[in-house]
Every structure is written in structure tokens, then in C-alpha cells.
């Protein structure tokens, strides 16, 4: 384990970073210490120009079963500290959304409560067939406090989101895929499925990938009219200034593979 981190493992292989929650005996809780380490790791990854993709997963039989309920008991008794924890958690998930890197949640096992909030902040997701995914906060009298109440309705629609939140139900991987809560279910090997997504994206323009993520995420903060205007401005700048926009068209015209910038 990287000595800089006690609760996570961060490794690199070429253009791919792998961010693993590494407390399997506790089902990989997103306690305050882990959230702080994730914030630091995301900043470290952002600083590495060679990295384009980040796989987020968990050790053992869980992606993350959520927060540390015992730790919450202490935080609830210290409101200022609890506010600081929520701020760190919110900023960590926002950093994933704002990052120019593409984040892929590789969901093994249980993905509940804070684990679901982490999944929802990622750009793509693939789940093992054994995964169990849901909100689950109300099963222990809790509420989502790291963006889950806002991101979940945007992902699956308001009625489905309320059904998941109010019942605390956990979905199978196939059920989660059917309602759009995860993008795909791995037929066999989860790592191979994540690698397949990366292989498909690796042939794309890096600057184009960043632009597509940015444009899609505008829907989280802008109404339709403002989003359309922002899209026009962004695409105009991209098409008239970025090498890859022209190169892609020339490659199509000349019937060759495009030579995108690294």
C-alpha cells in the first residue's frame, strides 16, 4: 500500500490510474479519513498529464457499503466537525465530476449509501453480476448528504429515485442496468470489462473526451436554454482551435486512422 494513504491504494499503469478502497474488513467505508485521502488522490491524479482514465473499485466483497455509522455517532455530537466532513465529501465528489480525467466505477459487491454517491459522481460504470446497488440510507435512519438526493434523480428519474430512497431497496446488477443506474454488467471478469471500456475510449481524442464530459455535465448546473448556449460556444471554440477536430475530419476524408494529439 502506498505509504501516503492508509485507507486506499493508488496505482498507475500508463494512461490508467486505479483507485481502490482498501478496508475490506469494514466493507470499504467512506469515513472522514478515507474521504480526505480520496480528495488528495484525485488532486494527485489530476496533476499527472499522462493519465486519462481512472478506475474506482473496492477490495474484497464490497465496492463501498457507505459511511462509518459508528463514526457518525461522534460527528453528530460535534456539529462543526460534521459540517466539515460533509464539505470534504461534497468537494471530493465534485472534484471527480470536474476532473478532466474519465472516471469509471467498477462495482464489485455492495454499493450502498455513500458508495452509491461515489458511483453517481463517476462518468461511466460497470458492475459485477454479484453487485447489490441502492441508496439504503433510510435503512439506518440516515439521509444522503453527499449529493445522492440530487444526483440519483438526475440519473434514473424522480420517481425511481424516490422509490430507491424511501424503500432502501438494493437492486441486482441487471436491475440497476435496466434503469440506467449502471452503464453495463460484466459478463464475467469485472476488470476485463473496465479495460474494455478504456480500450474503446483510448482510440478517441483526449481533448474530445474531456470536452464531451464537460458538455454532458453542464446538465447538472444549467437549464436547457443556458446549456444549449454554452454548448454552442464550447463547440465553436473546440472546432476552430483544436487540432483533433480538424484531424478527425481529414482522416475520415482520407480513409485513414486519425492521428490525435496525446
pLDDT single digits (tens) 21-41? 999 999 999 999 999 999 999
How far apart CA 206 and CA 227 sit, in angstroms, is 22
* Mean pLDDT on 1-24: 91
Asked if the model's pLDDT at residue 3 lies above 70, the reply is no
| Per-residue confidence (pLDDT) for residue 70, from 0 to 100 | 87
Separation between Cα atoms, residue 171 and residue 164, nearest integer Å = 9
pTM for the model stands at 0.94
pLDDT score for 79: 94
Strand order in the sheet with 124-127: 8-13, 16-21, 53-58, 102-107, 124-127, 184-185
- Cα–Cα distances (Å) from 42 to 38, 59, 99, 206, in that order, read 6, 18, 8, 18
Q: What is the pLDDT of residues 138-191, one digit of tens each?
A: 999 999 989 999 999 999 999 999 999 999 999 999 999 999 999 999 988 999
Amino acid at each position: 500500500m502506498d505509504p501516503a494513504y492508509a485507507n486506499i491504494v493508488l496505482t498507475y499503469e500508463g494512461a490508467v490510474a486505479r483507485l481502490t478502497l482498501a478496508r475490506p474488513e469494514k466493507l470499504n467505508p467512506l469515513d472522514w479519513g478515507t474521504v480526505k485521502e480520496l480528495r488528495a488522490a484525485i488532486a494527485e491524479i489530476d496533476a499527472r498529464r499522462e493519465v486519462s482514465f481512472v478506475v474506482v473499485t473496492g477490495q474484497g466483497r464490497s465496492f463501498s457499503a457507505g459511511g462509518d455509522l459508528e463514526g457518525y455517532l461522534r460527528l453528530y455530537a460535534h456539529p462543526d466537525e460534521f459540517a466539515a466532513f460533509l464539505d470534504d465529501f461534497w468537494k471530493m465528489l465534485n472534484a471527480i465530476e470536474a476532473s478532466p480525467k474519465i472516471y469509471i466505477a467498477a462495482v464489485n459487491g455492495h454499493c450502498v449509501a455513500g458508495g452509491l454517491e461515489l458511483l453517481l459522481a463517476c462518468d461511466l460504470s460497470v458492475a459485477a453480476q454479484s453487485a447489490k446497488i441502492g441508496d439504503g440510507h433510510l435503512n439506518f435512519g440516515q439521509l444522503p448528504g453527499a449529493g445522492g438526493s440530487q444526483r440519483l434523480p438526475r440519473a434514473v428519474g424522480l420517481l425511481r429515485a424516490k422509490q430507491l430512497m424511501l424503500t432502501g431497496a438494493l437492486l441486482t446488477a441487471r436491475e440497476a442496468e435496466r434503469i440506467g443506474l449502471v452503464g453495463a454488467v460484466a459478463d464475467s471478469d469485472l476488470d476485463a470489462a473496465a479495460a474494455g471500456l478504456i480500450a474503446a475510449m483510448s482510440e478517441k481524442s483526449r481533448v474530445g473526451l474531456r470536452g464531451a464530459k464537460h458538455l454532458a455535465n453542464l446538465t447538472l448546473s444549467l437549464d436547457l436554454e443556458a446549456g444549449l448556449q454554452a454548448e454552442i460556444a464550447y463547440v465553436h471554440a473546440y472546432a476552430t482551435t483544436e487540432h483533433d477536430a480538424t484531424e478527425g475530419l481529414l482522416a475520415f476524408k482520407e480513409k485513414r486512422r486519425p492521428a490525435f494529439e496525446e
